[in-house]
A and B are shown apart, each in its own frame.
Chain A
Amino acid sequence: MEKGDNRLQEPPFALPFDTIINGKYYIEKVLGFGGFGITYQGYNLDNSEAVAIKEYYPSGMVSRTPGSTAVIVNSKSGQFRKEKEKFLQEARIIYSCKNEHLLQIYSLFEENGTAYYAMELLQGRDLMHYIKENGGRISWFELRPYMLQIMDALNTVHVAGVIHRDISPDNIYICSNGFAKLIDFGAARSLDGNKSMSVILKKGYAPPEQYQSKGKQGAWTDVYALGGTMYRAITGVMPVESIERVRKDTLVPPSAYVQDLPPEVDRAIMKALNINERERFQTMEEFRNVIRASDPGIGRISFGDKLKTMFQGFNKPRTDYGYEANPYAGNVLAQNACLIGRSGLYSFQNFPLDRNICIGRDPKSCNIVYPKGTPGISKIHCQIFFEPRGFSLLLIDCGSTCGTYLNDFKLNPGIPNQLKHGDIIRFGADNVFEVSFLV
């Protein structure tokens, strides 16, 4: 990071590089920004953990001199104070909800004239990118477990009195460990109506009542948006915008686009997407119960899906490439395979491939661990494991920042690649491993 004049970020009104807030969070870079806030990647100086920090920054109401930290309220400071308090209040509720499928919030505080909360930094990608990586849509059976997790999280916050209001594939995160998490609360807020539409809504996911200033929003509003998300994920098609449907409802059921969708799920999605809020599931729990009771599709998930299932819950306690119960006992190929360190920290070391390998900087999840500060290596960088039937060894990049290279070819994140004897795996500045099948 450069200091001095080059502390400006992109966008320039964001907190400059190197800013420290709340006495312990070090701002590294901007991850994203929207109409209501800026999200930064940062670092907790107390425990050296990476964090994400959300800053309340409603672009219509405030500004900031580039290079400085104080937020300047442009107009109606009373309104700003009110909205800022709502931002904090929702964060407080999420903070107290503590659901493993809800983004974890570490702390909330006020500084620089606005409000912040520090939260876990996620590894993985949002559902929109996940769908795109899969060619624009995914099978219902692959989506189902993620939806159940998100419904669980939503139910928790609804019970606590908060409505998300901005559910879409962008706000559902699929983590590297296979967990789905709900992110980005409170983004959809209506400012005072004037002639132009100042409500920022996601067309296709927003039900009619969100367009109205006195619309009755409730759990049913999130039900609609989640139904729309499911629709988009499994069909690849955006649902018709709700206000269009009020005039003429041309939405076709998802079963028109995909085969293999259980009829009760087809009906449930259409019920969730009813433009009349009284006709939808009134609570997320009702919706969830129908989905939970539906066919989970065992045996119908494709090979790709099985791999992803393997990722779920991959969180092994740390011991330097320690020995755990051998999941590959009896696997002949596994008995003879190993990873040989050719350069870098683990030069000349031999790692038997008779267990799942996870490489990275996070001691909680990885068994080949690199120290903090090792350049070019992510917290969870890549994984090596046997394909379920045990016949081939696979390498997968876990969305690392600097990439994983197989025989000098940069891997696409999330896509498994078969390893053969003699393959060279490279990542970071100088870390090289060779795959060996001693037959």
Chain B
Amino acid sequence: MGTIKGSYFTDVGGRSENEDSFLLIHREDRGCCALVADGLGGHGGGAAASAKAKDIIEECFLSEEIKSPEEFNVWFQKANQEVINMQTPDIEMKTTLVVLIIKNKNAMWANIGDSRLYHFRNGELVEQTFDHSVSQMAVLRGEIKQEEIRGHIDRNRLLQAIGRTDTIKLDYSDRVSLDGAEHAFLLCTDGFWEYVTEAEMEKDLRKSDSPNEWLEKMKKRLEKRTRNIDNDNNTAVAIMYK
């Protein structure tokens, strides 16, 4: 059984409130659960939505076990219904959501929105989640390159989110075996990945012995780039499995 280490940070950036939420918990019998959520909607709606989604997923994680990635649909749908129920005529509440579960040398994850999960094996990026945004679609249509999503005009146009419609379409991974290699996971909201490139994530990972160290290095880059601008809330959860 490999060892799991995790770390996190969240920052309000240049905004007046932090609408991101995150989760990082580990239970002997249930494994490890990591989550980030980026809330949208004025008047505190975003913060409420992302916090509610986090609470629901936490509840689900602690009370039931899912055997396969498709079952994330159940958790996400629960979160979706709760956030929809919270809506008022004046306040629209939505949130992105990324959830990772590691148990018994296996990992699986699911996402909706444009918060991301990056998976590194032996220091190399092997996969990242698809954004549910118009920019991601432009990449698929061959109009722009993946790297050009950062700063793209349609980056904020979400095609899927929690709290928008009764039916949601999420992406989920295969069940990934972690045996026989060192793995790292980075869950982050767009306020974070906007300012740190994938190449830099890899570079900093290779030079770090702990998730905390890794996050600190990446945070420095972000801070340097956002020194004079009103950047978005940014949140990241890092996990290392050895």
Contacts and interface: CB of A to CB of B under 8 A. Distances in A.
27 contacts: A193-B154, A193-B157, A194-B156, A195-B40, A195-B156, A195-B158, A196-B40, A196-B92, A196-B94, A196-B158, A196-B161, A196-B164, A197-B158, A197-B159, A197-B164, A199-B157, A208-B141, A211-B154, A211-B157, A212-B154, A213-B134, A213-B154, A243-B134, A246-B137, A246-B140, A247-B137, A275-B141
Contact of A213 (B94, B140, B153, B159): B153
Interface of B: 40-41, 92, 94, 130, 134, 137-138, 140-141, 153-154, 156-159, 161, 164, 169
A104 B96 CA distance: 45
6 closest cross-chain pairs (CB), A and B: A195-B40, A246-B140, A195-B156, A211-B134, A246-B137, A193-B157
Chain B contact surface mostly: loop
A276 B141 contact: yes
Interface string A189-206: 000011111010000000
If over half of A's interface residues share one DSSP class (helix, strand or loop), that class is named, otherwise mixed; here it is loop
A211 B156 CA distance: 12
Contacts of B154: 193, 211-214
A276 B140 CA distance: 11
Given A247-B140, A276-B141, A212 B134 contact: yes
Contacts of A243: 134, 137, 159
B140 A193 contact: no
A208 B161 CA distance: 18
A195 B161 CA distance: 11
Contacts of A194: 156
B141 A213 contact: no
Interface string A242-283: 011011000000000000000000000000000110000000
B114 to A, nearest CB: 9
Interface string A171-200: 000000000000000000000011111010
A392 B171 CA distance: 59
A214 B157 CA distance: 12
Given A196-B161, A214-B154, A246-B141, 9 more contacts: A195-B158, A196-B164, A197-B157, A208-B141, A211-B134, A211-B159, A212-B137, A213-B153, A275-B141
Contacts of B141: 208, 246, 275-276
Contacts of B157: 193, 197, 199, 211-213
